[in-house]
Structure 1
Amino acid sequence: MSITYKFKSLMLINFDLNDLQAFRAVAEQGSFRKAAEVIRISQPALSRRIEKLEDALGVKLFERTTRRVSLTIVGRAFAPRAERLLNDLDDALLGISDVASSRMGQVTIACVPSAAYYFMPGVIAQYHKLYPRIRIKVLDAGANDVRGAVINGEADLGLSFSGNLDNELEFEGLVQERYVAACRRDHPLAGRSDVSWNEFYTYDYMSVDKSSGNRFVLDQALMHLTPSKPSICETRHITTMLGMVETGLGIAAVPAMAMPAHNHPVLTSVPLIDPPVVRDIGLIKRRGRTLIPAALELERLIIQVKG
């Protein structure tokens, strides 16, 4: 799409929408290489787009050194205007029903696996009906990787829990869930109404390692408890641990959202008490950054699913 600006001097300035998108990517990433990866073009092609935009405007937008790329004074003034123009255009196109269904593009969301399983299937189905040509990319990863993806711009927004968030992020809670003891249906705990953490630790159990966000939540909540014996195995992901529970290796403390359906033939769960431990699941976004309209619509649908 070609854009033409007409100033009082009657001078015409022509540039492409792609040039503005390239400018925004470099401004956000602070790197031509990273920006090229984000908008999925080669680095030379990205450089040509920036040069074309600078030539059209007759100004230098970036200061380039061997170590970093930074906005010039003019570039800093131009950045919010470019962002507003791109967002307004996206918003206008998504608001026109005949055009919205033909819109192309991609929205990326980073999710901890349990939240991806709980929220995203229904959300993606609804989003696809509205915007069949906009692709949703789901980065299912641990909480630390989800935070990193949102901070560095790899993801438009994230689904994670509230523990240990960076100051660069803002959190909007959606649901609160408790931790349960996952066990086989033939385990002595199966069918119990609840089980204390102290009793839980008397059985063979697995745990997640210290790189896991769940480990951080549990360590904070249970710092006053000393397990009667260490775990027999540590894993990085809850899904791996549940697989081991299913084979009969032991039990595991997991978020309720991570448990399979209630009619699972092998696995069941028992609420953990004394104390009950909960975690808040919600949306995370980069503080001070406005989401593109396509990502705002994804956010709206996620909040709707919560309701």
Structure 2
Amino acid sequence: MAINFDLNDLQAFRAVVEQGSFRKAADTVRISQPALSRRIEKLEDALGVKLFERTTRKVSLTQAGRGFMPSVERLLDDLDVALLGISEVASNRQGHVTVACVPSAAYYFMPRVVARYHQQFPRIKVKVLDSSAHDVLTAVVNGEADFGLSFMGTQEAGVDFEPLVQESYVVACRRDHPLAGRSSVSWDEFYQQDYISLDKTSGNRFLLDQALAKVVPQRPSICETLHVTTMIGLVEAGLGVAAVPLMAMPAADHPILTRVPLTDPQVMRSVGIIKRRGRTLTPAALELERLVVEMKVQPPKVSA
């Protein structure tokens, strides 16, 4: 059989499979929807089979399409891996990779990782979706992100979780606050202060509520926020104290803020990589994941 299709047609086919939509697939490969449809038609004509069943509501693979997909993935992935392994070619590779991160992980992990990645692959665009743990999980499950960095996902069906860092929650307070300089603070003592809390939709709030089921606050919080980073800003402004994951804290030499270990009980969270089970990462995404794992740094010891 004469080969009357090219790599662009195969990439269009894979994009439609991954996105489940011609419109989203066209955005992914950065062409118009009519142009993408022509590529699929060209591929189907060359193979002599229909690859997709199309209705007004959804796009699904035919039996022939399902059989063809593994071969296409292997071919494209093997080619990309080979090209990324050649330094002269890697520096000129184009493409994109999307990673979803909870804000603390985006702050803690990603700046150095993205800088190193850009040095190696300057023409591959990295998109960071910094959002809540729930939204990060949704982005990974729905295929909007290649992978995610979060502390949620360990119990989710269809999601693989690879832990990277174990960290504890600490009191964030100003250096002129009465708690500053303490060797530790119990949760009971913490709740006797003016404190800022997280909204019930927050993943951190869900984790803390589970871990502190037997700890009854002495008073309600003076303010609620959606994100830990906002809490830290309010602490810096002098509104009160906050319980935050260690990696969300500024450096130990911050002129205004400091941290104190929280105990009785010590609450830990595990931050790691989440991926949709059964989905093969693109070579560009695999390289970014490799750097995240390679460059992970354990949080500093919890001390005032």
Task: Identify the TM-score tier after normalising by the shorter chain.
Answer: over 0.9
Matches within 5 A, 1:1-307: 11-162=1-152, 165-306=155-296
- Contact residue 163 and residue 216 of structure 1 kept, 8 A: no
- Contact residue 169 and residue 262 of structure 2 kept, 8 A: yes
Aligned length, in residue pairs: 297
Cα distance change on mapping 1:164 and 1:201 into 2, 3 Å: farther
Structure 2 CA distance for aligned equivalents of residues 73 and 297 of structure 1 = 32
The residue type equivalent to 1:98 in the other structure is E
The residue type equivalent to 1:241 in the other structure is M
Structure 1 CA distance for aligned equivalents of residues 262 and 240 of structure 2 = 16
The residue type equivalent to 2:228 in the other structure is I
Deviations, residues 121-172 of structure 1 (Å, cap 9, x unaligned)? 1111221221111121111111111111111111111111145642111000
Aligned-residue CA RMSD (Å): 1.3
Q: Give the Å deviation of 1:35.
A: 2.2
Cα distance change on mapping 1:163 and 1:91 into 2, 3 Å: closer
The residue type equivalent to 1:83 in the other structure is E
Structure 1 CA distance for aligned equivalents of residues 192 and 12 of structure 2 = 58
- Contact residue 12 and residue 25 of structure 2 kept, 8 A: yes
Cα distance change on mapping 1:224 and 1:37 into 2, 3 Å: farther
Q: Give the Å deviation of 1:96.
A: 1.2
**Partner of 1:229: helix, strand, or coil?**
coil
The residue type equivalent to 1:271 in the other structure is P
**Partner of 2:99: helix, strand, or coil?**
strand
- Contact residue 53 and residue 59 of structure 2 kept, 8 A: yes
**Partner of 2:3: helix, strand, or coil?**
strand
The residue type equivalent to 2:36 in the other structure is L
**Partner of 2:17: helix, strand, or coil?**
helix
The residue type equivalent to 1:240 in the other structure is T
Query: What is the TM-score of this pair, normalised by structure 1?
Result: 0.93
> Percent identity between the aligned chains?
72
Give the match for residue 4 of structure 1: none
Q: Give the Å deviation of 1:70.
A: 0.8
Deviations, residues 231-285 of structure 1 (Å, cap 9, x unaligned)? 1111101111111111111111000100011111111111100000010011111
- Contact residue 163 and residue 217 of structure 1 kept, 8 A: no
Q: Give the Å deviation of 1:44.
A: 2.0
Structure 1 CA distance for aligned equivalents of residues 219 and 34 of structure 2 = 58
**Partner of 2:238: helix, strand, or coil?**
coil
Structure 1 CA distance for aligned equivalents of residues 188 and 153 of structure 2 = 24
Q: Give the Å deviation of 1:36.
A: 2.5
- Contact residue 147 and residue 165 of structure 1 kept, 8 A: no
**Partner of 2:178: helix, strand, or coil?**
coil
Structure 1 CA distance for aligned equivalents of residues 30 and 74 of structure 2 = 22
Q: Give the Å deviation of 1:221.
A: 0.6
Deviations, residues 10-38 of structure 1 (Å, cap 9, x unaligned)? x2122122221211121122222232333
Unaligned runs of 5+ residues in structure 2 are: 298-304
Query: What is the TM-score of this pair, normalised by structure 2?
Result: 0.94
| More displaced stretch, 283-292 vs 30-39 | 30-39
Q: Give the Å deviation of 1:175.
A: 0.6
The residue type equivalent to 1:231 in the other structure is S
Cα distance change on mapping 1:163 and 1:287 into 2, 3 Å: closer
